[in-house]
Homo-oligomer: A and B are copies of this chain.
């Protein structure tokens, strides 16, 4: 193939990472937009006219008018801004392929959930604070309250790359796992429940893991009614998007003691303002949207892109294709 592709990246990489990307795609050309992108959720204002490939977060409106664009690889796992039937239909009609970077973030996100689940079952927040005599009543309570995941039940909402990774990580710990998936494909590693079965599944799960993406179907999915259906004392985890949860209802469920605990890496907004009902609740544990983070995150993003770039050049199917 003699054609030189113009590859634009708007991701705020450092110089070493940019060099890795530049060399990786050579002799094809790396273009940097004039304006940096402050957040993946901000609107990038650069044009993608004359660009063949974007690695980053291009403005959906600009994507739709580009005559040149052939492939966009999002630098995130989430793709809310692009996830409308109209956008999908229009880009498909124009022959623009969309991939995301979910395989860069599945493992750290799954590890974060596992860290949460083990901190919860081993009662780390409480036991790290206590100094007590072996065999004291407090010790006995702590010791007997430290749970094994074996034979406990885990319900996962949203069965994509993170869930599959989490299922593999949980396997040696022995919980029973079921999952809810919008469009089951029949190749899932765990039993998939239907929406009709959700109330029963919520009622029997010791751990409910929310990995739902943000879209029209999932917004506000976890209502007070759904929290009410959960088993008393169960733990709720959110690693997806804060918008999928009625946070006032969650706070009420935690305050009343119906839910045992919530572990959230995402909230709406981020961070939560002081005085928010979830802030300061003793059984609500919040990390500031860092689940996807890991050493060499930039390098992982670039290597994932370069693998797909090779596939693109060789006419092979791309990884993490979303539409």
Query: A147 contacts the other chain (Cβ, under 8 Å)?
Result: yes
Which residues of the partner chain B approach A150 to less than 8 Å between Cβ atoms? 107
Q: Considering the chains assembled together, what is the distance between the CA atoms of A39 and B290 in angstroms?
A: 43
Query: A318 contacts the other chain (Cβ, under 8 Å)?
Result: no
Counting chain A residues whose Cβ lies within 8 A of the other chain, the interface size class is 35 or more
Query: A270 contacts the other chain (Cβ, under 8 Å)?
Result: yes
Q: Assess whether B147 is in contact with A295, with CB atoms less than 8 Å apart.
A: yes
Query: A286 contacts the other chain (Cβ, under 8 Å)?
Result: yes
Query: A43 contacts the other chain (Cβ, under 8 Å)?
Result: no
Which residues, 146 to 193 on A, are CB-close (under 8 Å) to B?
A: 146-150, 168-169, 171-173
Query: A143 contacts the other chain (Cβ, under 8 Å)?
Result: yes
Q: Assess whether A146 is in contact with B271, with CB atoms less than 8 Å apart.
A: no
Which residues of the partner chain B approach A127 to less than 8 Å between Cβ atoms? 287-288, 290
Determine which of B133, B270, B291, B294 lies in contact with A147 in the assembled complex, contact meaning CB atoms within 8 Å. B294
Determine which of B119, B123, B139, B293 lies in contact with A143 in the assembled complex, contact meaning CB atoms within 8 Å. B293
Q: Assess whether A131 is in contact with B286, with CB atoms less than 8 Å apart.
A: yes
Query: Interface on A for B, CB 8 Å cutoff?
Result: 38-39, 41, 107-108, 111-112, 114-115, 118-119, 121-125, 127-128, 130-135, 139, 142-150, 168-169, 171-173, 270-272, 279, 285-295, 297
